Amino acid sequence: MSGRPAIRVGLVIVAAGSGTRLGHDHPKAFVELGGRSLLAHALDRLASAADDVVVVGPPTHMEQALAQVERMGPGTRVVPGGATRTGSVAAGMAALGAVDVIAVHDAARPLVDAAALRRAVAAVVDGADASAPALPVTDTLKEVADGEVVIRTVDRASLRAVQTPQVFRAEVLHAAHARGVDATDDLALVEAGGGTVVLVPGSARYLKVTYPDDLLLAEAFLASGDHEERA
Ligand code: C5P
């Protein structure tokens, strides 16, 4: 319990994506890293820092999703996801009990840690409508048009790459989804509604597994051991 704010934290882990870019014939959340699925890693690292946990699984693979969460004991529920990430988050939110803040995490980020969740929750407790871990951008960024023709160089100094878990005041996330817009992350929905989003430090270890090379990098991080706080 040390360091846990006295508020109820709901956690939605979205795991309903197909993961076609990873080149497997089963959903990405079930791809294995060090002998366990990406979903199992994310659950193990975050579940004990939350008061209520919902996993959103691929509608076509619900039994497999249930098998992944069974060992977390009673309390963690599994619901089928939607056609888009936003739809899957909405399905997860609907299954959560009464909570003060909602954390949304991508199962595709298996090497997350509870410290990331706590940092983002603390930012919301301190007054932000939403928060997430993020990293400065290190590559030089170009805006291009058709045919990969460069239009301009974008100043990277003020840009951040945002990770998950993304944490929201519960009523803010519900209001953002009620507007019925679709986005690649939920912070965008809050920004669009004029909410205050404050970023907290992220980590290279919270990488999203999208392509086969990402899995190799995650394996190397896993083999090197955990350097950050666990729940
Ligand atoms: O596709 P992408 O990697 O951006 O997906 C991010 C996260 O959203 C993944 O954990 C994926 O399982 C989840 N997702 C989902 N439902 C969808 C699409 C993506 O739960 N329809």
pLDDT digits (tens, 9 = 90+) for 165-193: 999 999 999 999 998 888 989 999 999 99
pLDDT digits (tens, 9 = 90+) for 128-137: 999 999 999 9
Confidence of residue 227 (pLDDT cuts 50, 70, 90): low
β-pairing, 9-14 vs 52-57, is parallel
**Range 99-104 average pLDDT:** 98
Assess whether the C-beta atom of 85 lies below 6 angstroms from ligand 1: yes
What domains can be seen in the chain, in order of their start residue?
9-132+162-223 (3.90.550.10)
Atom in ligand 1 nearest the alpha carbon of residue 108: 10
pLDDT digits (tens, 9 = 90+) for 149-170: 999 999 999 999 999 999 999 9
Assess whether the C-beta atom of 186 lies below 6 angstroms from ligand 1: no
Q: How far is CA 81 from the centre of its chain?
A: 14
pLDDT cut 90: percent of the chain above it: 84
Q: Which residues touch 148 (CB under 8 Å, ≥6 apart)?
A: none
The predicted model scores a pTM of 0.94
pLDDT at residue 1 above 70? no
